[in-house]
A and B are shown apart, each in its own frame.
Chain A
Amino acid sequence: MIARDSPEPDWARGYYRAQNKLKIKSHAMSETELTHSRVIASARENTGGHVSTLALTTHRVLQWLQSPRPYLMFIGFSLFLGFWYLAVEVWKLPRFAEMPGLTAVVSEWLSKNPTYGLSIFMEEYYLHIWVSTRRIAIAFFLATAIGVPLGLFLGWSRRFKQYVFPVFELLRPVPPLAWVPLAIVMFHGSETPVIFLTFLASFYATALNTMLGVESIDVSYIRAASCLGAKRWQVFRHIIVPGALPFIFTGLQISVGVAWFSLVAGEMVSGQYGLGYVINTSYTMVRYPTIIIGMVTLGIVGYVTSAAIRLLGDYMMQWRTRELALGGDR
């Protein structure tokens, strides 16, 4: 720092002031940014040059617990459940007359001997979850295996897009439910039609997002690669695929969401077992608490699948995860 009484000429004082400003500027990293880079630096030391994903994750979980976010989330849940409880069981609002109350649902769900036959202690409950998840997994896998390459080629080759995209765009607005009759006619049994419907919804979201991902890639990257001597297929492998990855994963998140959506629709129409089937049969057989159990279970399982994909995306896009981690504000 400058000593106040130093006999400097005016210009020198200005110079020092500028220098100090410079210092301040170069140190103007936010506190979070500093902790992040410290964590990354120490993690890198410990693992010999590579940031371990575990260290970053632990750090982020700790940060999350220190922030107000988990507590706000808790309050949010409490308000929602509290309103449900009050509306049904205390105030007995007219709209909610037929609705099972919070306590009824929870006690049924956690009961060893459930009145309507479905709780966390019944094997059948897990069979339903397993059947639905299995259908989602098959449909999602097929949609990804076909949708990602299709989207990549749609974005990459203008000619291919001119052939395929109009057909794609014409089929895409047709809701999966409209395919139900055709699906039943085309595929035998009860399993394949449901998987087909689930696949359809997923497939459109994946393919479309992948295509947009390719189109979003800055042309400078492609030009730089061709400058450096990359052939066309090398550009595809090293620029197009990784460049589209962020969009692909956005697409997969949407895709798994709509997969659950059309799965339940499919299971309500045809099929035995599955959470959609549980909800539908519980309705016809007037087992109202079981409907809610099915819905809540769908919510939880759906969230888990979506989070799993997000984790996979973080793992496959280390560069992006680290960039965001360094960005501080999240």
Chain B
Amino acid sequence: MSTQPLYTRAPMPIAGTSTQANREGGVRIIDVVKMYGTQDTGVLAVDHCTFDVPAGEITVVVGPSGCGKTTLLNAIAGFHSLSSGSIYLDNEMLCGPGKLKAEPGPDRIVVFQNGALFPWKTNIENVAFGPIMQGYMTRKEAFEKARGMMADAGLHGIESNFPGEISSGVRRRVEIVRALMTDPKILLLDEPYRALDSLTKSVMHEALLEIFYKNRVTIFFITHDLEEAIFLGHRLVIMTTRPCKPKKILDIDIPHPRDYSVLTTKRFREFMEETAAAVHEEATKAFAAGEKER
């Protein structure tokens, strides 16, 4: 555990960005337990998990595949209920005793592992979907805003295409823009770049950081790629294999804004060295456990 709980700490200054730091979207996860099935025969997915996701920062959760980190994300998003514990968003309880399942809502938008742009809607219809559904914008207003936001993200010219017509990397960017359309407090990214090849991935990382510097939206990012985690994150949470709980939490003090030159710095390698053993150990355990199950 880190020495002090950093739920709402002073935001880290980012050189070269004038945007006011976001003080919203901090998530506090307190003693969360999630059990699938019944008490006796069930599988423990999340085991007394406690940590903070500071507002206006990128928190990256790293753990072996299938360790239960997605379960945690689903609980924040409101797709799954908890068995016990509680989760707060900006001092408001999302779920906890008496209300074990949060309501999904536009303040916490998920970007899914395999992408969830609606293939039957054009890209701009996808981006404009949230405000239109919530009814606070007319179709025309929403399209206007969507067009502007897509242009800002370098996605001009594909508005009337369908998601099936663009590359998977671009699709991911459209999906993130769709998430930002509704001004969420926190973005929940569930291994969004898993299916991309490593070259596309590196482009996507910088694009994500660029979006983050512009919007300063709080980001909760799940991955099993340690390099990606250190490159993107302000805060790194290394999870144990199933049942998942934080094994090591550390703050990455490499200054933002970052670009790909960070990967070759000494500090970056120090972080890799500091964490690689812990991640590897869990991966080995997960692998061994997988072998036993079969």
Q: Is A318 an interface residue (CB 8 A)?
A: yes
- Of the residues B114, B130, B164, B199, contact of A228 by C-beta under 8 Å: B130
A37-54 interface code vs B (CB 8 A; 1 in, 0 out): 000100000000110000
Is A173 in the interface zone, CB < 8 Å from B? Answer: no
Give Cα A220 to B111, complex, Å.
9
**Residue in B104, B112, B129 whose CB lies within 8 Å of A220:** B112
Answer yes or no: A141 CB below 8 A from chain B CBs.
no
Contact B118 A223, beta carbon cutoff 8 Å: no
Q: For the complex, give the distance between the alpha carbons of A169 and B118 in Å.
A: 32
Bits for A97-141, please: 1 = Cβ < 8 Å to B, else 0.
000000000000000000000000000000000000000000000
Fill in one digit per residue for A214-251: 1 if any B CB lies within 8 Å of its CB, else 0. Answer: 00001011011111111100100011001101000000
B148 contacts A by Cβ under 8 Å: no
* Contact of B164 with A319 in the complex, beta carbons under 8 Å: yes
How far does the alpha carbon of A177 sit from the alpha carbon of B135 in the complex, in Å?
Answer: 52
Which of A224, A227, A242, A322 is the one whose CB lies under 8 Å from B105?
A227
Distance (whole angstroms) from the CB of B285 to the closest CB of chain A: 29
Assembled-state Cα–Cα distance A22/B200 (Å): 11
Question: How many Å lie between the Cα of A50 and that of B122 in the bound state?
Answer: 11
Known: A49-B160, A50-B160, A238-B129. A227 touches B118 (CB 8 A): no
* CB proximity to A under 8 Å, residues B115-170: 115-116, 118-122, 129-130, 133-134, 160, 162-165
Q: Nearest chain B CB to A226's CB is how many angstroms away?
A: 4
Q: Which of B77, B118, B160 has the most CB of A within 10 A?
A: B118
Asked if A323 meets B165 with Cβ closer than 8 Å, knowing A226-B104, A228-B109, the reply is yes
Chain A nearest CB from B102 CB (Å) reads 11
Question: Which residues of B lie under 8 Å from residue A326 when comparing CB positions?
Answer: 164-165
Instruction: Find chain B residues with CB under 8 A from A228 CB.
Output: 106, 109, 129-130, 133-134, 178, 182
Interface centre among A228, A231, A239, A245 (most CB of B within 10 A): A228
**A317 part of interface (Cβ distance < 8 Å):** yes
Residues of A within 8 A of B77 (CB): 223, 227
Q: How far is the CA of A318 from the CA of B109 in the complex (A)?
A: 28
Contacting pair B120 A242 (CB below 8 A): yes
> Given A323-B164, A323-B165, A326-B164, does the pair A227, B120 have CB atoms closer than 8 Å?
no
- CB-based nearest A residue for B197: A25
- Inter-chain CA distance A209–B104, complex, in Å, is 30
Q: Which of A22, A227, A238 contacts B106 (CB 8 A)?
A: A227
B164–A239 touching, CB < 8 Å: no
Interface residue B108 (Cβ < 8 Å from any Cβ of A): yes
Q: Are A227 and B199 in contact (CB under 8 A)?
A: no
Q: Are B165 and A223 in contact (CB under 8 A)?
A: no
Contacts of A223 in B (CB 8 A): 77, 79, 104, 110, 112, 116
Shortest distance from the beta carbon of A46 to any chain B beta carbon, whole Å: 14
B56-85 near A? 1/0 per residue, CB < 8 Å: 000000000000000000000101000000
Q: Which of A286-322 contact B (CB under 8 A)?
A: 317-320, 322
Q: A220-B114, A223-B112, A224-B116 are in contact. Are A229 and B165 (CB under 8 A)?
A: no
Contacts of A238 in B (CB 8 A): 118, 121, 129, 133
Residues of B with C-beta under 8 A to A230: 129, 133
Query: In the complex, how many angstroms separate the beta carbon of B253 from the nearest chain A beta carbon?
Result: 31
- A227-B108 contact given A322-B165, A323-B162, CB 8 Å threshold: yes
Contact across chains for A224 and B112 when beta carbons are under 8 A apart: yes
Look across to chain B and name the residue whose beta carbon is closest to the beta carbon of A40.
Answer: B165
- Docked Cα-Cα span, A50 to B165, in Å, equals 13
Contact A323 B119 (CB under 8 A): yes
Excluding A220-B112, A228-B134, A323-B164, 9 further A-B contacts by CB distance (< 8 Å) are: A223-B104, A226-B104, A228-B182, A229-B182, A239-B118, A320-B119, A320-B120, A322-B165, A323-B119
Chain A residues within CB distance 8 Å of chain B: 22, 40, 49-50, 218, 220-221, 223-231, 234, 238-239, 242-243, 245, 317-320, 322-323, 326
Q: Show 18 residue pairs from A and B whose CB-CB distance is below 8 angstroms, ordered by the A residue.
A: A22-B199, A49-B160, A220-B112, A220-B116, A221-B116, A223-B77, A227-B105, A228-B106, A228-B182, A229-B182, A230-B129, A238-B118, A238-B121, A243-B118, A245-B120, A319-B120, A319-B122, A320-B119
Please provide the 3 A-B residue pairs with the shortest distance between their CB atoms, ordered closest to farther.
A323-B164, A228-B130, A224-B116
Which chain B residues have a beta carbon within 8 Å of chain A's beta carbons? Answer: 77, 79, 104-106, 108-110, 112-116, 118-122, 129-130, 133-134, 160, 162-165, 178, 182, 199
